[in-house]
Amino acid sequence: MRLLNVHTRRLKDFIATKIPRYAILSHTWGGDEVLFQDLANSKHKTKNGYAKIEGCCRQAIIDGFDFVWIDTCCIDKSSSAELSESINSMYAWYEKAAVCYIYLIDVPSGQDPYEIGSAFRKSRWFTRGWTLQELLAPSKIVFFDREWDMIFNDSIMAKHEDRKSRRADLPRERMVLLEEITGIGAKYFEIEFGEASAQIASGCKFSWAAMRETTRPEDAAYCLLGLLQVNMPLLYGEGIKAFQRLQEEVLKKNQDLSILAWGFDMTWRETSLRTNMGLRSYGILAPSSHYFKKFPVSLSKFDNHLKLATHSMMTNLGLNINLPLMCISSSLGIYLAFISGWAVARLGNKHEAFVLPLLKREDQLFERLPGSPPVISVTLTKGSNRKIKWKSIYLIEPKSSPSTWKSRNINPINDLDFLFFHPTQYTNEQSGFQLYHNQMSRAGFSFSRGMLPSAASFTSRDEPRADTVSE
């Protein structure tokens, strides 16, 4: 790790076991930053970005530190090997820092951060991908305005903050303010995030990044490596494929099925790719973190209901995974795959379950059901006469198109789309192999009106048993 000496303004390399206490800077990049190579040039102090370095070093001296880490000048970005190692290590560097100085250059001095419409609430820092881990990883964070004055000073704390929390640097009121700005629950700021991170579903972490931006498309994935506790090589130039690789690495590491719950509470139009043949489902994994923006809160905790006793492996056919399936129509090949709540659904207990509507192509080959949302929420109230059976399947990329739907004589929108989904979400170009009310009714389910687009309730009825899964 390379650190900047706050007294000499010179860089020094340290091996892992000899790293001293240091402060670390979090900020947003400008157009004239001081880079690693610039420090060898005596004119580097004339660059606009040097004021940021100077302010950081002055504050570190006040706080009793001899070294700071600043990403602009402590990484030699001309070395692809060093850049890759640094990005894979960055979360740990922020986590191990004694304090993280968060410098908001767009926040004037003297403003009240709690006021509605304040510059603090609107700061660009809260919209960037890289700053997500810089907010969560450190054990202590301190916010500074453009003049390097503490934003949460004594007068602000006396006016707004009096509720203590487990973190001395973050009173409860400040955590709530950060939740309002970032959408990250206040409870996640109170815990020691590094220790609790493994218990937070990956889909939840993706949702925190859903509305954040990065300059390069690959960085939308790379900035999440530490939060997801995975490592992978950097391949600048791969574009959005980086996010696909990231999800595959998460699946390799654990059986976190929340990764498959993208597109929740979004219409099929919102989660589909427009082609010259019409709309087409994106496929197995989400194209970007944007598709987790409405990730369900009830799936946020990565516990046993998301840890099915299953395996997963990405192959040349698709994602090979063992999931509990319920057949809705064997003639049309429509199934529901449970990614949570399958046990209580089987036992007939009232409980929310999350399912993937799937279309069977061949014996083990399934794709996401065209015309339906990627994941839906259902609530079992009294039990079902439908069997749920485990099956090893391959979740494949979509093969269907509007022309193939018509060749199967599948009628567009019917009763179920009014009862199960909101009818205004669908148009004729989106019609496909949607779930049908009469199919579900034969299976022993009836639906209540007035449900949200992504939710439904069903109850058991004494009707003949419908199709079941066949091996």
Q: Are strands 67-69 and 99-103 parallel, antiparallel or unpaired?
A: unpaired
Query: What is the Cα–Cα distance from 6 to 12, expressed in whole angstroms?
Result: 11
Which tokens hold the place of 43? Answer: 């004119």
- What are φ and ψ of residue 101, in 5° steps? -85, 115
Asked whether residue 291 is assigned to any structural domain, the reply reads no
Asked whether residue 179 falls in the same domain as residue 316, the answer is no
Nearest to 227 by CA among 259, 193, 253: 193
> What's the distance, CA 135 to chain centroid?
15
Q: Which of 199, 233, 266 is the last residue of a domain?
A: 199
Which domain does 419 fall in, by range? 302-458
DSSP letters, 206-251, are HHHHTT-B-SSTTHHHHTTTTTTT------TT-TTHHHHHHHHHHH
Q: Which residue has the higher pLDDT, 315 or 464?
A: 315
How many independent structural domains does the chain possess? 2
In this structure, of 20-34, 178-192, 345-359, 396-410, the range with the lowest mean pLDDT score is 396-410
User: Global pTM?
Assistant: 0.85
Give the full edge-to-edge strand order of the sheet including 23-26. 11-13, 2-5, 67-69, 23-26, 99-103, 141-144
Asked whether residue 57 falls in the same domain as residue 184, the answer is yes
Nearest to 180 by CA among 274, 117, 98: 117
Asked whether residue 411 is assigned to any structural domain, the reply reads yes
Asked whether residue 9 is assigned to any structural domain, the reply reads yes
Query: What is the Cα–Cα distance from 449 to 235, expressed in whole angstroms?
Result: 49
Asked whether residue 293 is assigned to any structural domain, the reply reads no
Asked whether residue 7 falls in the same domain as residue 131, the answer is yes
Dihedral of the alpha carbons of 362, 363, 364, 367, in degrees to the nearest 10: 30
Q: Which of 156, 184, 199 is the last residue of a domain?
A: 199
Q: What number is the average pLDDT over the span 296-301? A: 84
Instruction: Give residue 301's pLDDT.
Output: 78
Query: What is the Cα–Cα distance from 339 to 375, expressed in whole angstroms?
Result: 9
> What's the distance, CA 164 to chain centroid?
29
Asked whether residue 188 falls in the same domain as residue 337, the answer is no
Asked whether residue 88 is assigned to any structural domain, the reply reads yes
Long-range contacts of 178-187 (CB under 8 A, 24+ apart): 178/135, 180/121, 181/121, 181/126, 182/126, 182/135, 182/208, 183/207, 183/208, 183/211, 184/135, 184/136, 184/208, 185/300
Asked whether residue 189 falls in the same domain as residue 330, the answer is no
Instruction: Give residue 419's pLDDT.
Output: 33
Phi/psi zone of residue 298: left (φ > 0), alpha (ψ -120 to 50 degrees), beta? Answer: alpha
> pLDDT tens digit string along 421-433?
332 233 333 334 4
Asked whether residue 325 falls in the same domain as residue 180, the answer is no
> pLDDT tens digit string along 117-161?
999 999 999 999 999 999 999 999 999 999 999 999 999 999 999
- What are φ and ψ of residue 260, in 5° steps? -85, -5
Q: Which residue has the higher pLDDT, 261 or 197?
A: 261
Residue type, 4: L
Nearest to 225 by CA among 202, 259, 256: 202
Q: Which of 199, 219, 254 is the last residue of a domain?
A: 199
Asked whether residue 57 is assigned to any structural domain, the reply reads yes
Which tokens hold the place of 351? Answer: 């409980």
Q: What number is the average pLDDT over the span 388-401? A: 84
Residue type, 156: I
Q: Is 20 helix (H, G, I), strand (E, B) or coil?
A: coil
Query: What is the Cα–Cα distance from 76 to 434, expressed in whole angstroms?
Result: 53
Asked whether residue 217 is assigned to any structural domain, the reply reads no
Asked whether residue 258 is assigned to any structural domain, the reply reads no
Q: Which residue has the higher pLDDT, 93 or 199?
A: 93
Report the mean per-residue pLDDT for the chain.
82
